[in-house]
Structure 1
Amino acid sequence: MSDKPFSAACERNRDPILAVLRDWFADRRRVLEIGSGTGQHAVHFAAALPQLVWQTSERTEHLPGLRAWLDEAALPNTPAPLALDVGEAWPRESYDAVFSANTLHILSWPEVEMLFAALPAATTLDARLAIYGPFNIGGRHTSDSNAAFDATLKARAAHMGIRDTAAIDVLAGKAGFDLADDLALPANNRLRLWRRMR
Structure 2
Amino acid sequence: MNRQPKPWSEACERNRDPILSVLREEFDGAGTVLEIGGGTGQHAVYFAAALPHLVWLPSDRVEYLDGIQAWIEDAALPNALAPVALDVLDHPWPVSRAQWVYSANTAHIMGWDGVEAMFAGTSRVLADGGRFCLYGPFHENGKPTSDSNARFDQLIRARDPASGIRHREDLQQLADQVGLRFKRACPLPANNQILVWERTSR
Is the shorter-chain TM-score for this pair beyond 0.5, marking a shared fold? yes
Map 1:136-147 → 2, pairs under 5 A: 136-147=139-150
For the pair 1:87 / 2:78, whether they are aligned, the reply is no
Residue 9 of structure 1, CA deviation: 0.6
**Residue number among 7, 11, 17 corresponding to 2:19 in the alignment:** 17
Letter in 2 for 1:135: F
Residue 156 of structure 1, CA deviation: 1.1
User: Matched residue of 1:38: which SS?
Assistant: coil
**Residue number among 34, 37, 47 corresponding to 2:36 in the alignment:** 34
Letter in 2 for 1:61: E
Letter in 2 for 1:44: Y
For the pair 1:197 / 2:200, whether they are aligned, the reply is yes
On the 8 A contact 1:91/1:122 being kept in 2, the answer is no
Partner in structure 1 of residue 171 of structure 2: 168
Letter in 2 for 1:163: R
Residue 27 of structure 1, CA deviation: 1.2
User: Matched residue of 1:96: which SS?
Assistant: strand
Q: Any stretches of 5+ residues in structure 2 without a counterpart? A: none
Partner in structure 2 of residue 66 of structure 1: 68
Residue 91 of structure 1, CA deviation: 2.0
On the 8 A contact 1:133/1:191 being kept in 2, the answer is yes
Letter in 1 for 2:22: V
CA shift digits 1:163-182 (9 cap, x unpaired): 00000011111111111110
Partner in structure 2 of residue 155 of structure 1: 158
On the 8 A contact 2:122/2:132 being kept in 1, the answer is no
CA shift digits 1:117-154 (9 cap, x unpaired): 11232121121110000000011001111011111101
Q: Any stretches of 5+ residues in structure 1 without a counterpart? A: none
Residue 28 of structure 1, CA deviation: 3.7
User: Matched residue of 1:139: which SS?
Assistant: coil
Task: Return structure 1 stretches of 4+ with deviation > 6 angstroms.
Answer: none
**Residue number among 99, 102, 106 corresponding to 1:103 in the alignment:** 106
- What is the root-mean-square deviation in Å for CA atoms of aligned residues? 1.1
TM-score scaled by length of structure 2 = 0.95
On the 8 A contact 1:94/1:124 being kept in 2, the answer is yes
CA distance in 2, matches of 1:114, 1:28: 26
CA shift digits 1:53-80 (9 cap, x unpaired): 0000000011111111111111111111
**Percentage identity across paired residues of the two chains:** 50
Alignment size in residue pairs: 198
Letter in 2 for 1:161: G
User: Matched residue of 1:56: which SS?
Assistant: strand
CA distance in 1, matches of 2:123, 2:133: 15
User: Matched residue of 2:99: which SS?
Assistant: strand
CA shift digits 1:72-106 (9 cap, x unpaired): 11111111100000011302431010000000000
For the pair 1:126 / 2:129, whether they are aligned, the reply is yes
